[in-house]
Amino acid sequence: MAGKTYEEINAKIRRGEAVVVTANEVIDIARDIGVKKAAEKIDVVTTGTFGIMCSSGAFLNFWHTKPKMKMQHIWLDDVPAYGGVAAVDCYLGATELPAGDPGNAHYPGHFRHGGGHVIEALVAGRPVHLRADAYGTDCYPRRSYEQTLTLADIRQAFLFSPRNCYQNYNVATNCSDRTVYTYMGVLKPHMGNVHYSSAGQLSPLLNDPYYRTIGIGTHIFLGGGEGFVAWPGTQHAPDDPRNARGIPLGGAGTLAVIGDLKQMDARFVRGVSLTGYGVSLMIGIGIPIPILDEEALYYTTVTDVEISAPLCDYGPDGYPTGEPCTLGYVTMAELKSGEIEFEGRRIRTAPLSSYSKAVEIAETLKGWIAAGRFTLGQPSRLLPTDEKFSGGCA
Amino acid sequence: MADTITKSVSLRYSPELVDAPIIYHLVRDYHLIPNIIRASISPNKEGYTLLSLTGAEEDFRKAIVYLQGLNMVVEQLADKVSWDELRCTQCGACTAVCPSGALSVQRPEMTIRFDGTKCVVCHMCIEACPVDAVKLDF
Ligand code: SF4
Ligand code: SF4
């Protein structure tokens, strides 16, 4: 087939004529009519994922107080935000804890509140208490400031996450003889349970494994609003080994993403507390894959059976040591069934990411595009596929 | 057995009691069906057992008196946990730790369902839920 261009697809979207399906639906369509016909018929395949994504945060600008102030230390609902950016700009990180949080002093700590929760509160329109101090300068004399405000009072607020949307991810278990509390959840001893965090066949970067259409400027669903891919994410490691389908066997690709907090919906931006670990942010991301050619369509037909992820030991002798901790590989289909078989044992699995929300995101994005209100962003640079970034356990 | 109840209790006890055949007595003398949800017992340390007991209400009451008589700190856990469907992100993290199947994943949609009648109020989900969607109901 002759390829389609971004312009052609966008023109169809604007006319309300684009054929848009989700990464789940495309599987059956291609099975019925074949990849070639499906590629001619379909213009866009939508993907989705909703999971805990550390390395998230937001830039906020409070606008100037009277008299003016160069805020040095900033707290939002007692959670420190980094103010070493400018006078009234700050960065609020998702994993930041309130001043005086006992951490794991009473192990395992509860971590009820932190940066992720403040970001959720802002998006939900709830009031947040801002407190700042400063040493005072001739041009910025004010030394302290306190104000309760909502997102509407904040001049600019955008999510800017250095690393979201891992292509694939470790599956966690615990081989030791005590319960461990990790960012992958509470893991019972002697491989008592297995946790995973991936939307599998719906997951954005698994539907375009070689980033043929995803890069800087890709227009995305971000937290219920619209956003963009800003850069390859930190720890982007495209040269992780891959299977015959192009699916990486480790974390591989990541995205730095950006989007206006004021457009977001708190149903897709949630602060999370991980017992014994800390706080973070759960966020929804959906990426449209333009079907430029048959190959693009082919990659979107990946199924959970073809996606494998490394099963890693998060017990004290495994992941924490920094040494290789992979025990084997399991498929997404097994993980989603609720049980995996490993070395003759059946072990219960549970997701940390929400599959039903991932479906909702892919469906929502499909609706936006079909209705002509969301067009594709042509990347000005694609994500790198061959650079050596960091190694080690994802 | 219309009056059968299931309640969860936590027991804390001194090291001397670690070897006492408590479960045996609960079964034989009080006709209760114990389900140990969690236990931490190590030599010379305070013991902790979290268990649910199913049986007649009267027997349950007597069993609590018996346990207290052994100088155990007996705490009856809240009667109910409530699940806030709107807060729930449908992740499923609670389902691997829930021992009773009260919280479960509906396949293939992968949505989460809470069946309060199966819940043994063990608190495991409360620790596991990242967004505080399950709470104790007193
Ligand atoms: S308290 Fe939670 S984990 Fe325990 S049985 Fe009830 S629902 Fe399941
Ligand atoms: S862990 Fe919490 S948010 Fe996740 S499914 Fe269970 S109740 Fe819902």
What is the per-residue pLDDT across B100-130, written as a single tens digit (0 to 9) for each?
899 999 998 999 999 988 888 888 898 889 9
Instruction: Quickly state the pLDDT bin for A393 (edges 50, 70, 90).
Output: very low
In degrees rounded to 5, what are phi and psi of residue A324? Answer: -55, 135
Measure CB to CB from residue B91 to each of A188, A194, A354 and give the nearest one.
A354
Mean pLDDT of B52-76: 89
Respond yes or no on whether the N-terminal peptide bond of residue A67 is cis (omega within 30° of 0): yes
Tell me the Ramachandran region of residue A189: left when phi exceeds 0, alpha when psi lies from -120 to 50, beta otherwise.
beta
The chain-wide mean pLDDT, for chain A, equals: 95
One-letter-per-residue 3-state SS of chain A = CCCCCHHHHHHHHHCCCCCEEECCHHHHHHHHHHHHHHHHHCCEEECCEEEECCCCEEEEECCCCCCCECCCEEEECCEEEECECECCEEEEECCCCCCCCCCCCCCCCCCCCCHHHHHHHHHHCCCEEEEEECCCCCCCECCEEEEEECHHHCCEEEEEEEEECCCCCCEEECCCCCCEEECCEEECCCCCCEEECCCHHHCHHHCCCCCCCCEECCEEEECCEEEEEEEECCCCCCCCCECCCCCECCCCCCEEEEEEHHHCCHHHEEEEEECCCEEEEEEEEECEEECCCHHHHHHHCCCHHHCEEEEEECCCCCHHHCCCCEEEEEEHHHHHHCEEEECCEEEEEEECCCHHHHHHHHHHHHHHHHCCCCCCCCCCEECCCCCCCCCCCC
Residue A278 pLDDT > 90: yes
Q: What is the pLDDT of residue B21?
A: 85
The whole-model pTM stands at 0.86
The CATH 3.30.70.260 domain(s) of chain B lie at: 4-76
Q: Are A313 and A175 in contact (CB under 8 A)?
A: yes
Query: Cα–Cα distance between A235 and A55 in angstroms, integer?
Result: 11
Alpha helix segments (H runs only) across B1-138: 22-28, 57-69, 124-128
Measure CB to CB from residue B96 to each of A271, A337, A349 and give the nearest one.
A349
Instruction: Quickly state the pLDDT bin for A390 (edges 50, 70, 90).
Output: very low
The CATH 3.30.70.20 domain(s) of chain B lie at: 80-137
Task: Count other C-beta atoms under 10 Å from residue B2's C-beta.
Answer: 4
B92 part of contact set with chain A, CB < 8 Å: yes
Q: What is the pLDDT of residue A394?
A: 34
Q: Could you give the ipTM of this predicted complex?
A: 0.83
Residue A108 pLDDT > 80: yes
Q: What is the pLDDT of residue B47?
A: 80
Q: Are residues B107 and A338, on separate chains, in Cβ contact within 8 Å?
A: yes
Mean pLDDT of A365-379: 97
Percentage of chain A modeled with pLDDT above 90: 93
Residue B137 pLDDT > 80: no
Is the shortest distance between the CB of B93 and ligand 2 below 6 Å? yes
Residue nearest to atom 1 of ligand 1 (CA): B121
In degrees rounded to 5, what are phi and psi of residue B52? Answer: -105, 145
A54, A90, A139, A175: the catalytic one is A139
Q: Are residues B92 and A350, on separate chains, in Cβ contact within 8 Å?
A: yes
Query: Cα–Cα distance between A198 and A210 in angstroms, integer?
Result: 18
Mean pLDDT of B32-59: 83
CA nearest to A224, candidates A380, A48, A62:
A48
CATH homologous superfamily of B4-76 equals: ACT domain (3.30.70.260)
Q: Are residues A354 and B89, on separate chains, in Cβ contact within 8 Å?
A: yes
pLDDT, tens digit (0-9, with 9 covering 90-100), for A31-55: 999 999 999 999 999 999 999 998 9
> What residues of A are in contact with residue B127 (Cβ under 8 Å)?
108, 186, 275
Query: Cα–Cα distance between A149 and A290 in angstroms, integer?
Result: 40
Residue A106 pLDDT > 90: no
Q: What angle do CA B64, B65, B66 make, to 5 degrees?
A: 90
| Class (C level, CATH) for B80-137 | alpha beta
Residue nearest to atom 6 of ligand 1 (CA): B119
Q: What is the pLDDT of residue A391?
A: 38
Residue B90 Cα: closest atom of ligand 2: 5
Low-confidence winner among A31-40, A244-253, B41-50 (lowest mean pLDDT): B41-50
Low-confidence winner among A164-178, A339-353, B72-86 (lowest mean pLDDT): B72-86
Residue A9 pLDDT > 90: yes
Residue A329 pLDDT > 50: yes
Q: What is the pLDDT of residue A84?
A: 95
Query: What residues does A239 pair with on adjacent strands?
Result: none
In the three-class reduction of DSSP (H, G, I as helix; E, B as strand; rest coil), residue B60 is classed as helix
Q: What is the pLDDT of residue A389?
A: 45
Instruction: Quickly state the pLDDT bin for B2 (edges 50, 70, 90).
Output: low
Q: Are residues A195 and B127, on separate chains, in Cβ contact within 8 Å?
A: no
* CA A298 remoteness from chain centre: 24
Q: Are A166 and A208 in contact (CB under 8 A)?
A: no
Q: What is the pLDDT of residue A157?
A: 98
Q: Are A278 and A113 in contact (CB under 8 A)?
A: no
Q: What is the pLDDT of residue A1?
A: 60
Residue A138 pLDDT > 80: yes
